[in-house]
Amino acid sequence: MTTRRIRGAAAAVAMAGAVAACSAPGGGADGGAAVESVVIGVSTEPDTLSPLLGYGKDGNSKIFDGLLARNADLSLEPALAKALPEVTDGGRTYTYTLREGVKFSDGEPLTADDVVFTYRTVLDDETNNTAKSELDAIKEVKAEGDDKVVFTLDYPYAAFAARTVLPIVPEHIAGGQDPNTGSFNTKPVGTGPYVLAGWSKGEKLTFKANPDYWGGAPKVKKLTMAIIADDDVRATRLRSGDLDGATLPPNLAATFEGDDDKKTYRATSYDFRAVTLPTGNPVTGDTAIRRALDLAVDRKAMVDKILDGAGRPAYGPLPLDDPWFAKGTERDQDLDEAKRVLDEAGWKPGEGGVRARDGRRASFTLYYPSGDKVRQDHALAYASDAKKAGIEVKVESATWEVIEPRMKHDAVLAGFGSTGDPDFGLYTLLHSSLAGDGFNNMARYDNPAVDEALATGRRSQDPEDRKAAYDDLQRELVKDPGYTFLTHIDHMYVLADRWDGLTTQTEPHEHGFASGPWWNVEDWQPKK
C-alpha cells in the first residue's frame, strides 16, 4: 500500500509582485489530461532545493524522502527505513534499517552511506544550514553495512525520531560539490514521488511523476507550483481557470463558497502571527513597552475581523488547543493596565498622544511583506491598539530584501510555528544562542530563564519535566515578552473538485508550498 506522508518544501521569503502566467490547467475535452496535471498557486518559493541547506527539513518534500515520514495525523511512520528505529542505551542510540530496493531517480541505489553523508554534511560547520541546531544532540552517525544506520546522541533527546524525517540526498552526486554553491541546489536528485522538471525563478516550479517511485507511481503526472506573491492575484487566477488550486487568506477563500466546481479546505495550524520586538531598538527593547503592547492588543477582534473566525487568539507560540499550552496564560485586552505599566516606567503622555521618556518618543516602525493582506491587516490593527496606550507604530510594507537588513533594529510582522514537538518551534524562536541567526530568534531575545527551560525541554526524557519546563517558559514570556503574539491562523485552500483522497493536517507556519491538501498528491485518485 502506498505510504501517505507530508510532502512539499520549506517556504522561504515571499516574492513581491505579480508573475507571468503559467499554462492554463486545462479542463477541456480531455478529462484525463485535466486530472493528470495540477497547477497550484502559492505565495512563496524556496531559496534552494537542497536538504543540505534546509529544504524539506521537516520531511515535506516531493523530491526526497526521509528515514521516517509523517502520516495524516502527524504520527511517525517508516519511509526509507523499513521500520521505526530501535532505541537503546537509555535513549542515546537510534538504529535504522533501510527499506530494500529503493533507488534515486537517476537509478542508483540508496545506501546507508547516503544517510551518513546527508547528516554529516548538514552538521558540518562549513555548511550554511541555519537549522543545524535542531540536530544538536547528534554525537556520531555511522553506517553498518549497506542497510543499517546508527545515530549516537550526546544526550537523550525525546524528539529525535521526529528529526529523522530529514530528506536523504545521494552522496554520488552531492558529495562532489560544495553544498553551499553546487548545482545540486537547483538540480536535485532524490528518492521521492516526483522529479524536478523545471524551475523558472519567481514564476513556477514544475515536477513530473517518478514512474519508479518505491511507493507507487503517482496518478497526478505533472505538478506545477505557480509562485504568485499577491493574494488578490492568486484568487483572480484561480477564478479565471488559470489555476487548479491556491492557498488563500480566509476573506478571499470565502468568495469561492458558491462555486460548485471548487472545494474549500481548512487546516488548523501552529502558524502564528507576531510582532518581533528587537532588543537593539531603544523603544522595542524596553520591557515596559513590550508588556504594554502585549496588554493593549485585542487578539479576539483580530481573529473575528481579520481572519473571519478562521483562527484563534495567540497568547504565546503554542496554540490554545495544544497539549503543551500553559493553561492560565490566556489574557484579554487591558488598556488600563497597559497605561499603568507605562506610567510606572516613566513613559508619560506627550505631544499628539504619544508617550515619551527622557526626550525619546514611544515610537517605532513595523514592517510587513508586500502583497500579504493578512499581515497588513494585523499590522494596522496592532498599530491602532498600540495608539490607544500611547505608543506610535508606523506601519510600512516592503519586500523581504528590504526588510532583512532592518530586522536587527525594526519590528516585523512575522510568522512562525512548527509541528511535531515544542522543541522544534520554540528553540529557534527564543534561544539566545540563535539571536539574529537569519530568521531564527528575529527579536534577538535573551532571557536566561527561557534558555534554561529550552534546555530542560530538549534534554529531558520525562514528559512531566518537559511539560513543567515549557509551562515555565510560556509564563516567562508573559512577564518578559520578546514578541507580541497575535493570532494562530487556520490555513485556507480552494481547489477544483476533480480528485479523491484530499485531506489536510495540522500544519506548520510553512504552508502552500510546504503543505496543504496536496501534501499527499502522489496518492490522489481521479474522481470517477
Q: Which DSSP string do the residues of 134-178 spell out, in sequence order?
A: GGTTEEEEEEETTTEEEEEESS--TTHHHHTTSBP--HHHHTTS-
On whether both 367 and 477 belong to a single domain, the answer is yes
pLDDT of residue 510: 78
Q: Compute CA distances 161 → 73, 78, 318, 323, 359, whole Å.
A: 16, 11, 21, 19, 54
Dihedral, CA of residue 341, residue 374, residue 471 and residue 336, to nearest 10: 20
How many helices and strands in the chain, by DSSP H and E?
Answer: 14, 23
Please indicate, yes or no, whether residues 39 and 135 belong to a single structural domain of this protein.
Answer: no
Region 348-373: what's the mean pLDDT?
A: 95
- Residue 400 is assigned to a structural domain of this protein: yes
User: Given this model, what pLDDT does residue 31 score?
Assistant: 54
**pLDDT recorded at residue 189:** 98
Distances (CA, A) of 55 to 46, 101, 272, 394, 404: 7, 25, 21, 34, 20
Please say whether the beta carbons of 484 and 392 come within 8 A: no
Q: Is 295 found in the same domain as 263?
A: no
Vertex 129, ends 196 and 47: CA angle to 5°? Answer: 40
Give dist(CA 313, CA 294) in Å, integer. 12
pLDDT band per the 50, 70, 90 thresholds, residue 33:
low
User: Is 335 contained in some domain?
Assistant: yes
Q: Would you say residue 3 has pLDDT above 50?
A: no
Domain boundary among 141, 176, 211: 176
φ/ψ of residue 144, rounded to 5: -120, 95
Average pLDDT score over residue span 173-178? 96
What residues does 526 pair with on adjacent strands?
499
pLDDT > 70? residue 114: yes
Give the count of domains, the chain: 3
Span 21-31, mean pLDDT? 42
Higher pLDDT, 13 or 416: 416
Whether residues 125 and 206 share a domain: the answer is no
Dist CA 40 CA 312 (whole Å): 27
Which ranges of 247-327 would DSSP assign to H, the alpha helix? 250-253, 287-296, 299-305
Domain extent, residue 359, equals 272-489
| Domain-located, residue 196 | no
pLDDT of res. 246: 96
Is the domain of 476 the same as that of 525?
no
Looking at the domain assignment, is residue 446 inside a domain? yes
Alpha-carbon distance of 189 to 49, in angstroms, equals 10
- Give the CATH number of the domain where residue 25 resides: 3.40.190.10
pLDDT at 25 (0 to 100): 46
| 97 and 15 in a common domain | no
Question: 3-class DSSP state for residue 473?
Answer: helix
Ramachandran region, residue 18 (left: φ > 0; alpha: ψ -120 to 50; beta: rest): beta
The CATH number assigned to the domain holding 305 equals: 3.10.105.10
Looking at 176, 209, 237, the residue that finishes a domain is 176
* pLDDT given at position 275: 98
Q: Is 195 domain-assigned? A: no
3-state helix, strand, coil in the chain (%, to 5): 30, 25, 45
Co-location of 258 and 364 in the same domain: no
Q: What is the pLDDT of residue 60?
A: 76
- CA-CA-CA-CA torsion sign (336, 337, 338, 341): positive
What single-letter amino acid sits at 7? R
Q: Are residues 156 and 219 in the same domain?
A: no
Which residues, listed in sequence order, are joined to residue 311 by a DSSP beta bridge?
489
Residue 192 domain-assigned (yes or no): no
Q: Tell me whether residue 190 is in a domain.
A: no
pLDDT of residue 419: 87
Separation between Cα atoms, residue 269 and residue 56, nearest integer Å: 18
Neighbours of 159 (CB within 10 A): 16
Mean per-residue pLDDT, 221-247: 95
| 332 and 384 part of one domain | yes
Please give the Cα distance from 457 to 451 (Å, whole number): 10
Q: Is 89 in the same domain as 207?
A: no
Same domain, 323 and 385: yes
Question: What is residue 121's three-state secondary structure?
Answer: helix
Look at residue 470 in the predicted model and tell me its pLDDT: 98
Please indicate, yes or no, if residue 358 is contained in any of the structural domains. yes
Asked if residue 420 has pLDDT above 90, the reply is: no
Q: Is the separation of the CB atoms in 69 and 5 below 8 Å?
A: yes
> Looking at the structure, do residues 167 and 93 belong to the same domain, yes or no?
yes
Tell me what the mean pLDDT of segment 452-466 comes to: 93
Nearest to 438 by CA among 416, 421, 422: 416
CA 145 to chain CA centroid, nearest Å: 35
Q: List the CATH number of the domain containing 150.
A: 3.90.76.10
